[in-house]
Chains A and B, each alone.
Chain A
Amino acid sequence: MASIQLSNQHPLDSLIRSDRLPHIWCPGCGIGIIMRCYAQAILESGISQEKHVVVSGIGCSGRVAGYMNIDSYHTTHGRAIPFAVGLKLAKPELMVTVFSGDGDLTAIGGNHLIHAARRNVDIKVVCVNNFNYGMTGGQVGPTTPKGARGTTAPYGNPELPFNLPYLMGAAGANYVSRWTTIHVRQTKDDILHSFNHPGFTFIEVLAPCPIGFGKSNNINDGLEEMELYRDRCVLVSDGDVRAEELTIDLREERPIYVGNFIDRDQPPYRPIHLENAQ
């Protein structure tokens, strides 16, 4: 009969600042799942952990920088991407990942997002999309579906949301995909893939936010949102999905398309260096 061996160690121990636990995230939050995917991808990347750097903005997802036990920068609201651009261009041997939320990256940071994609700077963006501003208590943002409720839209959100893969594809990103927190292996594999895909890569991961978004929109807990993902997600194989089909609305009985949408091989941004430069 096989014996059970107990271990006090976890393979990801070296990548988590355990002295910072417990974390600040709510029960049912999806950010931890995505952070775990990122850590696992670093572990499997074959790239020295010393070369991995994470840059975050502000918000719940921005706190990831503080929990990852690698070089980490927790910057200002919306400015993680330009900070990361400066860092990457100053030290190209680093593997620079921007890990932040939808509000941080696409609202206050939206201009930096599209321009970094346009330049095709070799940084890896992981965007946690939970459809609202969670840390400040469930306000609507640029990813909130029209009609969904939030604390700043008590009568329903009157605005149309961004659909991020379409936006990123149009802006010029080299690689764009979308997963959800139920797609743990795919998310990890895709982040790992992005490390080896030069240029600007953008991975959107839909994540439950039961306290911020769920409570205003009749999604009772994180598990219920995960079940919505399981029931409705459709994997795209050819990547050709039009804008309206990428729109997400958890309240509607329509598919949520996930998978890889853009896979280009454009050369990444390189600063001009003259041949005989000193």
Chain B
Amino acid sequence: MTYRTVLTGKHFMHGDHACAEGAIAAGCRFFGGYPITPSTEIAERLARRLPEVGGVFIQMEDELGSMAAILGASCGGKRVMTATSGPGLSLMMENLGLGVMLEVPCVVVDVQRGSPSTGLPTMPGQSDVMQARWGSHGDYALVAYSPWSPQEMFDLTVLAFNIADRYRVPVLLMTDEVVGHMVERVIIPPEDQIDHWPRKRPTGRPSGSGNGSFKPFSAEEADLVPPMVHAGEGYRLHFTGLTHDERGYPDMTAETHQRLVTRLVEKINRNADQIIRIDPYYMDDAQIVVVAYGCTARSARRAVRLARERGIPAGLLRLVSLWPFPEQLFNQLAANIETFIVAEMNLGQMALEVERVTKRPVKGVFHAGGEMIAPEPILKAIINNE
């Protein structure tokens, strides 16, 4: 028998499986991971599927190794992914930083559970979203998306691979146990309708001499993204986690450090418009704005609908992308809107961002995790703040 790469058609599919199928459809051909609830189904699906499409699946000894292995495989030219939950994400932070520093495209899925520490392995949480932004040491920027359905587990996984390659950056898929374990309709498009943005690659041929004659970290001014060279292509490249110049050589100076770190952050900021995804509901005339993401946004949409039925001008701003934070949008909104309610399954993390940017006190509907926030407390917050 032959195997299908893209399972085009209408499915009743598990969220974690939809993520795995999104990866296969996007051309992911290397997965290195370590089992952890509630993400394990992604690894299990890929253990079955990757060998069918000529890809590599390897179960690593831990999440430190998983993250290092996908970076190595990406440097060999593959599209790569790993999947984990909070405790594993903590271990991946080390080499996530290396991925940022070496500008190695990769996709990291975090199916969030109740945290901190071992927390609630089988129950949902959204309390890793600040760790996603700041968890590795140092200043840096990366990209994070937050699917709210199995359909988006597929769609945003495809997008995550494209963004990772386009901007040479690790992309996180910050989902949660509810969405990961939800079974719902998933429509997988025909193969030729799946976006594939190729990795930016050097145009010149390698001289073969090495010795700094080629500059693998020379970024183009337009997007600040240097073309990616892979191992074995004759460039005699050097990649180091040390502060490096355009040749890739270590350069222990404040000037080079300032230039490099600034570019790594600016490359995301400058391209934020292409990266950010927002899904608005009833926002045209909204006076009260609910901000939510992931599974909580499902309850928030219901709450906003109920509020509208009562004649309250509430709207939902669903953050499809979490990082970079849509500062411009919230700036604009703050000009006309006084009340922002943030609903999230943590004790107030993205709420800090909304507060920072809008400069308005934010009403929080928070829960430490373990169960989905229902529509009622969100509706109550809307009514109380009318």
Q: Which residues from chain A sit less than 8 Å from chain B, CB to CB? A: 17-20, 49-51, 53, 55, 65-66, 69-76, 78-79, 81-91, 93-94, 111-112, 115, 271-274, 276-278
Contact = CB atoms under 8 A, between A and B. Distances in A.
A86 B68 CA distance: 7
A79 B68 contact: yes
Contacts, number: 173
Given A70-B236, A79-B68, 15 more contacts: A69-B236, A71-B236, A72-B237, A73-B102, A82-B68, A82-B69, A86-B71, A86-B74, A86-B76, A87-B231, A90-B75, A90-B78, A115-B61, A115-B65, A276-B1
> When A and B form their complex, which 3 residue pairs have the shortest distance between CB atoms, in order from nearest?
A86-B72, A90-B76, A86-B69
A85 B69 contact: yes
Nearest to A62: B240
Nearest to B94: A76
A86 B240 contact: no
B71 A93 contact: no
Interface in B29-57: 29-30, 32, 51-54, 56-57
A53 B65 contact: no
A23 to B, nearest CB: 12
A115 B250 CA distance: 30
A276 B70 contact: no
Interface in B56-93: 56-58, 60-62, 64-66, 68-78, 80
Most buried by A among B69, B78, B231: B231
A278 B54 contact: yes
Contact of B98 (A66, A69, A75): A75
A69 B211 contact: yes
B212 interface: yes
Contacts of A74: 238-242, 250
A85 B70 CA distance: 9
Contacts of B230: 91
A70 B3 contact: no
Contacts of A86: 30, 32, 58, 68-76, 80
B210 interface: yes
Contacts of A111: 61-62, 64-65
B246 to A, nearest CB: 14
Given A66-B249, A82-B65, A85-B72, A274 B237 contact: no
Given A17-B210, A74-B241, A91-B76, A277 B52 contact: yes
A277 B3 contact: yes
A271 B58 contact: yes
Contact of A79 (B30, B56, B94, B235): B94
Nearest to A71: B231
Contact of B232 (A50, A65, A72, A115): A50
Contacts of B386: none
A139 to B, nearest CB: 20
B54 A73 contact: no
A94 B3 contact: no
A185 B138 CA distance: 44
A244 to B, nearest CB: 28
B54 A273 contact: yes
Interface residues of B, number: 56
Most buried by A among B78, B208, B211, B249: B211
B333 to A, nearest CB: 40
Contacts of A69: 210-211, 236
A91 B232 contact: yes
A82 B75 CA distance: 13
B210 to A, nearest CB: 4
A89 B30 contact: yes
A112 B61 contact: yes
A19 to B, nearest CB: 5
B233 interface: yes
Contacts of B236: 49-50, 69-71
A73 B75 contact: yes
A273 B58 CA distance: 12
B234 interface: yes
A87 B72 CA distance: 4
B232 A51 contact: yes
B77 A71 contact: no
B146 interface: no
Nearest to A115: B61
Contacts of B66: 82
B30 to A, nearest CB: 6
Contacts of B69: 82-83, 85-86, 89
A73 B74 CA distance: 12
Contact of A71 (B54, B58, B65, B237): B237
Contacts of A272: 51, 57
A191 B63 CA distance: 30
B159 to A, nearest CB: 23
B346 interface: no
B68 A17 contact: no
B237 A66 contact: no
A93 B102 CA distance: 23
Contacts of B242: 74
B115 to A, nearest CB: 24
B238 A112 contact: no
Most buried by A among B3, B57, B64: B64
Contact of B3 (A75, A87, A89, A274): A274
B95 interface: yes
B122 interface: no
B205 to A, nearest CB: 12
